[in-house]
Structure 1
Amino acid sequence: MSIGSNSFTRVLESQRTLKVESYDIFLDVDLSKLRFDGKVKIRLESEADVKLDAVDLEVSQVKANGSPVKYQMSGEDLSVKTGKFSGTLDIDYRGTISEKLVGFYKAAYDGGYIASTQFEAASARRMLPSIDHPAHKAEFKLTVKTDKDLDVISNTPSVSSKIEGTKKVVEFQKTPRMSTYLLYLGVGKFVEVKEKHDGVEYAVATVPGKSSGAKFPLDVAKQSVQFFEKYFGIKYALPKLHLVAVPEFAAGAMENWGAITFREIALLIDKDSSVRIKKLVSEVIAHEVSHQWFGNLVTMKWWDDLWLNESFATFMAAKAEDAMFPKWRTWEEFVRLDTAGALSRDSLLNTHPIEVKVNSPSEIEEVFDDISYGKGASVIRMLEAYTGEENFMKGVRSYLQKYKYSNAAGIDLWTQIEEASKAQVKRVMSEWIKKPGYPVLSVSLKSGKIAVRQERFLFSGRAEKTTWPVPITMRLNGATKRLLMDKEEELVDVPGKVESVKLNVDQTGFYRVHYDGIYDKVWKAELSPLDRYGIISDSYAFVFQGRTRFDEYLALVDRYTNEQEYLPAYEVSDQLASLYALAPKAIAEASKKFHRAQLKILASKTDENSVLLRGVMSGRLALVDEDYARETATKFKDYEKAEPDMKAAIVAAYARSKGDFDTVIKNYKSRSSEEEKTRFLGGLVSYKDSSLVSRALGLAGSEEIRKQHVQSLLLGASRNPDARDATWSWVSKNIDWLRKIYEGVGTLSRLLTATIPLFGIGRAEELKRFFATNKIPEAGMGIEAGMERLKINEDFLRRVGETEQQVIQVPER
């Protein structure tokens, strides 16, 4: 990482001794030569010499209140010899538009490129000398000079645009007080689709040729703003909201105030878009729009509370999407993706608390993970269930009103919700956010009572006695009970005999449940789709822990063969797909049986969830069933007429059965739609012939595969059990290149967490030696987590190997 550590050693000191009022920025941007000249006037007060953050900027002059003053660059510190100071610093400097996906960078598309910014967490310093710290909020006034045929977008509307020969000068309105990481600048040729609603101008901005996908995101943005204005009780703060489609982007989206940036696939919807992408787009837009209040209007004091931004936005996005698209059953999707992803990541010893102490720059980016997003959001959902929806909303409103345009910490939010609900919010949340991991509740019958015992759940099976205050929901003999369990064991009285029992009703709690010898009573309970999901989800985790035998698990999967509901069926399919990546021989027959049965059930269904699931399951069956792959591949000749949600399956089946590399790569290169490119990218990693996957990976370092697609390419290749060797070979030879393209963002850490447990199978010692020799400090947490999960996978494979001959044949019903 090139973000130095020296600026972090003075974080608290700078908060005490320095106050920034405003930045007045002038940038002369030469897009053709990828450079810019800058002048910034910073109004501030300081008790001592001023230290600013600056990276890869060439400073030529500094003035303090109009007089030249001495300055020095050291690492990433620009030290200005002001002594005690109050007034304006004028700084002249020069910078380059980066080829990396961070700072002010080049984002290429077919036929050209734009320049766009990505500043979170600590990269505003790559475009202007600043106090690049979330607590140092200021007003920003931006003026940009560039070629007259280019467009310029920033956080606020432009107030003037003047032509000066071959150039034009665009001046923007002053922003509200905000953190540096929320500043935005985009320069290039944009096409805008605009619509005014309730005093706010909404605009989708794309590169030329992409604006046809703007209607759906415009509608979702408007509805999201309406939803959050009503929920939070505060109007949206700016006069406009841009949704900017960026052709090269490391993240999915970024909440820059008034100018949200997105990957094209996470924003644009056209006639060929699948239901899966419509869901993605609506969720991402709602997530980023919620940040306009929670994160932008009120901002964390420091990155320790990053989770507060991201968890809350994840949770609120689900609320908004559920209100906009009730038939999608968003909370089921939330549990399957956000909660499940967080439970899995938090089942490792190499995890971290929700609230994590940030001690070094690389840690900022590494904590943008399943814990910060998924666990935090799931614990907030659990808190809402505990306090009640109305009380929870009142507390959130009070928090936003009290701290708007300033900074706050997690304790400030819990205080407001506790005052509104009169519940023990601070005590409960303190335990959940400061402690890593989560509990498994073991449920049994003891002397006619329900006995509930808690301990930390770890995939490794290691026993760790610790307790959480667990808000338990229980359906007992048809009646719902609630209790706060804060000790190791709890006995629950039962009036009469226990006929049926189910804990964690509708999966609102962030914990797992194991029933000791009483699963017959669980199946007698009234089970919602969320409840049936919870049973198989927990069982899958218990298989990896060793608590449940693999043959027992497969018998349970068999019980779901004719499942009619979207969520439990999708979950079983997810599990079988993951197991295929690990143990293809042991799972193939069970996967074939389940997916064939489900495709028969889904064939006659027309709702959007079923359309989505039919496409997903077709692709998964094509990987394990050669006959089905050949049959599905015949549809490639009529690809353009195929249902959008079936297209990825058709491409995967075609690649799998035909081994035709040239057709797939030609389509990847020629398609303009990001979703179409992604479909053919999936084909490139689906081949049985690992040399073809190697060939695809070999294109990653060239211009033929976009940088933003490398992550998907590697994730897909690592999940192909025929391509493990090829994937590891490529990663080991290209690790330095990966570090370079992901410099300044946490992508590499998350990528290694996900891929090491797959391509590392059978070569754990080799990987240990490799990472010992090739130090990657910015991905240290991810590597450790990946190596731990690799050991868990190999332990699982050893257990499966002992029983494989017994379980690969699944009995017919």
Structure 2
Amino acid sequence: MPGYTTTVNVIFTGHQAQFVLDVTAACLPLYEEVFKVEYPLPKLDTLLAHDFEGAMEHWGLITGATQILLIDLIKSTQQEKVSVFHIQCHEIAHMWFGNITTMKWWDTLYLNEGFATLMGELIIPDRIHPEWRAGSEFVVGHFNRALNLDAKLSSHPVEVECPDANRINEMFDDLSYSKAGSVLRMLSHYVGADKFLEGVSLYLKAHLFGNAVTHDLWQGISAATGIDIAELMDDWITKIGYPVLTVTENVAGIHVRQDRFLETGPADPKDNETIWNIPLSLLSTEHGISSVDKAMVLREREATFVVDTTKPFKLNTGTKGVYRVLYTPKRLAKIATEAAQPKSVFSLDDRTGLLQDAFALSKAGFSTPSSSLTVVDLWRSEKEYVVWEGMAAGLDELVSIWWEDASVVENLKRFQRTLFVPLVERLGYEYSENDSRDRILLRTLAITQAAAADDKGVLQVLQAKFKRFLKTGNNSHIPAELQQVTYAVAVKFGGRVEYDTIVKIFELRRTPSEQKAASFAMGASQDLEIIHETTEFIVNKARDQDLIPLFAALSANFASRRAATQTFMQNYDTFYNRYKDQLSLGVLVSACLNYYSSQADYQAIETYFKVKDTSKYSHALAQSLDGIKARSAYVERATADILDWFHKNI
């Protein structure tokens, strides 16, 4: 900063705080450069504490939990390093979005959180670490989470009324963070990144040390671009949901129709009134050269656009637009086949978005699960980690949805083994300093997925690693990347000795990474007695910062899923009183309810909560119930299709 130096400090003892300090020193001057607004204070401190909830910005001070901001770079995974970077960079963004310029009221919380998400987890990290592919990870993470949540009837607009204090904590959800960040990313792509940031700078300068509303932001970006941003963007912020574009082909080109997308299927007329202004970002090809029309906007319910459909084309280039695209089965097959080619015109982010759309559209009944399985099967030669990450997530969700149907689960696991075991055989189990980040992540993903699919060879290798640890008392031979899956396999297929060893690791709290691996493993047992012991640990011994990870681990395990929910319900008053004033109360509720797939479970959960005061987590509860309803309908509708596909293909 011109004139004087800003001092950055981390208030915590030990080397595990050094990375947060380095992140702060790297990011702070970049924010000043991008926004053209100086950080106004002579220092920026970070205070780390145990049992603190998440991270929070203050005037010249960031406070954060040790379990999310401490990191031993030698003993942590690639993803954990990125997570710490993103969290701290996100909080630094709040020095501008939140402190220098503050939303006028809670209804525009997204002006703080959406911008901090976009800047702190995409734009700034991409400038410092382009090798992390922040844009692609944003699509897999924030973008997909936003669309999954916003596909529920119980969703809410990004800008939402906040009539009383009980609603404030609930507004800190994936819509204020992930959807808002995704909508702003779409706008940046449409107007151009430089013009977008210029407009943001004008917005900040016009409201230095003051309050702002949505119109103020649109005014700044309009001044920089000459575009009526309010006309283009208001519905994306003030209206609930997002569209699915149905694309059909005719002699003129393509016909595109927009309707609200819901995970339960086509929206009723009363839920389908919004007409969004949709940047179509059409990729087309001519003489083997691709081009993107960023100016094309769908402003009506439906319209026809001139496109040469004899050549490859695709809407939503780079998956920048906040919508799904439904092609005909024939066109989807053509795009997927072209995308599988080594020199495809479709980018990494195109492939990732296409995959996410395929799974989401089949879940909602617009297509069949066999269509998404076919895309995965076509892409088994894929080279990029991010696409494999998307394939793994889609298949994992299917396994979890059909968790009580042994036939479907076993077929899905068999399919997973055909995909991931060859990757393990190619990449091996050893990590080298010369490995690229993508190679490290792909190896870890492949081993984890093969283990989850019960591949005997992979399980034997991981069990041998843990047995060596038991024998020597030294776990240094277990790479940080494989710690979680190794510990989980040991507990899942082991007994008392393995479980007790993991509990000791958890209680030692040597590093956040190791404790995270241990907490996940504590929920992996198939033994009812050990499962009960874990639930007792949660009730009687677990610290506040440990409850959600432990509940999530138990819920992810088919053998303990119901035990997790029963423990929460039987001790509801205890957990409610511990979390009632915390932002994560809704997260705790979701962690215990989000995995069921039957109408009977829907009715039981709905009945249980009818007599509870749910005002502090009403959104989370409604979203969980909507999810159960959608999954239940999916199971009833699509089981035969999945089994038929496996019968014909695997």
- Report the TM-score when normalising by structure 2: 0.90
* Residue-by-residue CA offset, 1:211-240 (whole Å, 9 max, x unaligned): 211222211111110110100112211111
Residue aligned with 1:758, SS: coil
Higher RCO, 1 vs 2 (CA within 8 Å, ≥6 residues apart): 2
Instruction: Describe the superposition over 1:291-350 as per-residue Cα deviations: whole angstroms up to 9, x where unpaired.
Output: 111111111111011111000000001111111111110111111110100000000000
Deviation at 1:556, TM superposition (A): 1.8
User: Please, which of 313, 318, 324 is the counterpart of residue 506 of structure 1?
Assistant: 318
The SS at the match of 2:137 is: helix
For residues 390-789 of structure 1, what are the structure 2 equivalents within 5 Å? 390-463=194-267, 464=272, 466-477=274-285, 478-482=290-294, 483-494=296-307, 498-516=310-328, 517-523=330-336, 524=338, 526-584=345-403, 585=406, 586=408, 587-603=412-428, 606-625=435-454, 627=456, 628-636=458-466, 637-638=468-469, 639-659=475-495, 660-703=498-541, 705-759=542-596, 761=598, 762-789=600-627
CA 369–737 in structure 1, closer or farther in 2 if over 3 Å, else same: same
Q: Give the aligned CA root-mean-square deviation in angstroms.
A: 1.9
- Aligned residue identity for 2:629: K
Q: How far apart are 1:616 and its partner, in Å?
A: 3.5
Correspondent of 2:42 among 224, 233, 239 = 239
Conserved in 2, the CA contact under 8 Å of 1:630 and 1:654? no
Structural mapping, 1:338-357, within 5 Å: 338-357=142-161
The range that moved more, 242-251 or 338-347, is 242-251
592-601 vs 662-671, which moves further: 592-601
1:123 match: none
| Counterpart Cα distance in 2 of 1:629 and 1:486 | 54
* Residue 265 (1) aligns with residue 95 (2): no
Q: 1:239 corresponds to which letter in structure 2? A: P
Cα 1:220–1:301 shift into 2, 3 Å: same
Does the Cα contact within 8 Å between 1:441 and 1:453 map onto a contact in 2? yes
| Greater strand proportion | 1
Cα distance, 1:601 vs structure 2:
4.7
Aligned counterparts of 1:602 and 1:690: Cα–Cα separation in 2: 36
Q: Secondary structure at the match of 1:677?
A: helix
User: Cα gap change, 1:465/1:411 in structure 2, threshold over 3 Å: closer, same or farther?
Assistant: closer
Distance 2:373 2:444 in 1: 24
Deviations 1:139-196 (A, max 9, x none): xxxxxxxxxxxxxxxxxxxxxxxxxxxxxxxxxxxxxxxxxxxxxxxxxxxxxxxxxx
2 CA distance for matches of 1:384 and 1:550? 33
One of 188, 212, 221 as aligned partner of 2:24: 221
The one-letter amino acid of 1:646's match is L
* Contact 1:399–1:416, Cα closer than 8 Å, also in 2: yes
Structure 1 residues 760 and 690, CA gap change in structure 2 (3 angstroms): farther
Distance 1:280 1:577 in 2: 22
User: Is 1:286–2:89 an aligned residue pair?
Assistant: yes
Q: In the alignment, what sits opposite 1:37?
A: none
In the alignment, the residues of structure 2 paired with residue 198 and residue 806 of structure 1 have an alpha-carbon distance, to the nearest angstrom, of 69
> Which residues of 2 match residues 351-370 of structure 1 at below 5 A?
351-370=155-174
CA contact (8 A) 2:169 2:583 kept: yes
1:804 Cα offset (Å)? 5.0
- Using a 3 Å threshold, how does the CA distance of structure 1 residues 375 and 670 change in structure 2: closer, same or farther? same
Higher alpha-carbon Rg:
1
Tell me which amino acid in the other structure corresponds to 1:437. G
Residues in 2 aligned to 1:549 and 1:642: alpha-carbon distance in whole angstroms: 41
Change (3 A) 1:321 1:507: same
C-alpha deviation, 1:448, in angstroms: 3.4
Q: Quick one: distance in 2 between partners of 1:795 and 1:617?
A: 31
Change (3 A) 1:319 1:531: same
C-alpha displacement of 1:531:
0.6
Task: Give structure 1 regions of 4+ aligned residues with deviation exceeding 6 angstroms.
Answer: none
CA contact (8 A) 2:71 2:513 kept: no
Residues 480 and 759 from structure 1, CA distance in 2 versus in 1: closer, same or farther, beyond 3 angstroms?
Answer: closer
Distance 1:810 1:377 in 2: 42
- Report the 3-state secondary structure (helix = DSSP H, G, I; strand = E; otherwise coil) of the residue aligned with 1:260: strand
1:25-57 deviation per Cα after TM superposition (whole angstroms, max 9, x unaligned): xxxxxxxxxxxxxxxxxxxxxxxxxxxxxxxxx
For the 8 Å contact 1:728–1:759, the answer to whether it is kept is no
What CA deviation, in whole Å up to 9, does each residue of 1:115-149 have, x standing for no partner?
A: xxxxxxxxxxxxxxxxxxxxxxxxxxxxxxxxxxx
Equivalenced residue count is 610
Q: Is the 8 A contact 2:142 2:178 kept in 1?
A: yes
Higher helix share: 2
Q: CA deviation at 1:808?
A: 4.3
CA distance in 1, matches of 2:4, 2:193: 27
| Secondary structure of residue in 2 paired with 1:214 | helix
1:202 aligned partner: 8
1:467 counterpart SS class: coil
Whole-angstrom distance in 2 between the partners of 1:682 and 1:415: 47
Q: Could you tell me which residue of structure 2 aligns to residue 375 of structure 1?
A: 179
Distance in 2 (alpha carbons) for counterparts of 1:621 and 1:521: 29
Percent sequence identity over aligned pairs: 28
Structure 1: which 5+ residue stretches go unaligned? 1-196
Q: Give me the TM-score of the superposition, normalised by structure 1.
A: 0.73
SS of residue paired to 1:640: coil
